[in-house]
């Protein structure tokens, strides 16, 4: 931490000119996410003391059991974003379709849509492992003043104007980019402010960590199997360390700081992979590229994929540039 650290609010104001469309919108959007993140952080940190643990008894559109904290986080982020006169629509992992905001107000000038995974890795809450929030921001393409359309959300990742994540761990951090590099802010819980703690974050070009659910090894494509064996082979700079938390945000965050590759391939039991393109892979790929890393689906750049549906799944390989390119040689 710097001697006189800059707060997130101060950083946004100072760097607002770097946001090409902004006239205060960026500040409002990030502040909404910051507010909701602090509320969710408070609940995460007292999860063992209150009735907020475990499944709620319902499933989301993915067919996954909803945890109580999933529902809580979803409500808080939608509420915070909806209270700002800037967002016209939201897609959440926890909702079947998109949410339209201010649809009856023909005069509303809301220009942005937000796609969000409110609580990534929430099943880890019960065992006190880090979880996170992932978000993606686009400028709408339908006319301002009209209800938001499906096409506003089905944009390629390269068209994101901002993306980021919050990690709720031993400390709580908000990491984001508006296309001018990546910066990380750590929450000081004593006063409730985020401070710039990790300026200009970068993926090391090389790394020594690979993150994959090796329990599914037998179902992986042959090229991925060969790359895993490459990672395990004893050489001058290998074997690499296997580190897999099972929370995308946690695995990504560690690998960006230390150098590594995250893999969730397609397989015989998940033909299209597991991770969702719009609110998991795209924002993480955006952050990765802004930090000098690389993200692919095995055939192409993640950010070049044209989405076809809101909850579309894709294989995901992301991390240090040289590690991803070595993987490409195998697949």
- Residues annotated as binding site? 93, 117, 119-123, 213, 244, 274, 280
Picking from 319, 69, 125, the residue whose alpha carbon sits closest to that of residue 302 is 319
Picking from 83, 75, 115, 74, the residue whose alpha carbon sits closest to that of residue 101 is 83
Contact indicator for 290, 283 with CB cutoff of 8 Å: no
Query: Reduced to 3 states, what is the DSSP secondary structure of residue 18?
Result: helix
Question: DSSP readout, 55-98?
Answer: EEEEE-TTSPEEEHHHHHHHHHHHHHHHTSTTEEEEEETTSSSP
Annotated binding site for Mg(2+): 93, 117, 119-120, 280
Looking only at the bridges linking them, the beta strands covering 131-139 and 316-319 are unpaired
Picking from 60, 213, 41, 198, the residue whose alpha carbon sits closest to that of residue 133 is 41
Query: Reduced to 3 states, what is the DSSP secondary structure of residue 317?
Result: strand
For CA atoms 226, 297, 252, 258, give the dihedral sign.
positive
Question: Cα(111)–Cα(148) distance, rounded to whole angstroms?
Answer: 9
Annotated binding site for substrate: 120-123, 213, 244, 274
């Amino acid at each position: 931490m710097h001697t006189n650290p800059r707060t997130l609010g101060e950083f946004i104001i100072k760097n607002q000119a770097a946001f090409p469309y902004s006239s205060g919108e960026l500040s409002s959007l990030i502040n909404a996410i910051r507010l909701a993140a602090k509320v969710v952080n408070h609940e995460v940190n007292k999860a063992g003391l209150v009735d907020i643990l475990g499944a709620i008894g319902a499933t989301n559109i993915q067919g996954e059991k909803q945890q109580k904290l999933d529902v809580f986080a979803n409500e808080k982020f939608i509420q915070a974003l909806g209270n700002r006169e800037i967002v016209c629509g939201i897609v959440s992992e926890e909702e079947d379709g998109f949410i339209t905001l201010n649809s009856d107000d023909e005069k509303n000038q809301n220009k942005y849509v937000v796609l969000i995974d409110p609580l990534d890795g929430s099943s880890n809450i019960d065992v006190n492992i880090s979880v996170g929030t992932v978000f993606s921001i686009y400028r709408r393409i339908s006319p301002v003043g009209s209800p938001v359309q499906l096409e506003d959300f089905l944009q390629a990742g390269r068209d994101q104007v901002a993306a980021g994540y919050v990690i709720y761990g031993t400390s709580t951090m908000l990491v984001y980019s508006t296309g001018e590099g990546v910066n990380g802010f750590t929450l000081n819980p004593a006063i409730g402010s985020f401070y710039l703690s990790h300026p200009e974050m970068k993926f090391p070009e090389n790394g020594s960590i690979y993150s994959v659910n090796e329990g599914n090894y037998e179902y992986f494509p042959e090229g991925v199997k060969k790359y895993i064996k490459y990672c395990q082979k004893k050489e001058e700079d290998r074997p690499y360390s296997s580190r897999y938390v099972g929370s995308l945000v946690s695995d990504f965050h560690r690998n960006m700081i230390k150098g590594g590759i995250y893999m969730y391939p397609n397989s015989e039991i998940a033909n299209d992979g597991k991770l969702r393109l719009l609110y998991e892979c795209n924002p993480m790929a955006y952050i990765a590229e802004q930090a000098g890393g690389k993200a692919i689906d095995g055939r192409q750049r993640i950010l070049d994929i044209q989405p076809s549906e809101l909850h579309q799944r894709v294989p995901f390989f992301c991390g240090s540039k040289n590690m991803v390119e070595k993987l490409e040689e195998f697949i």
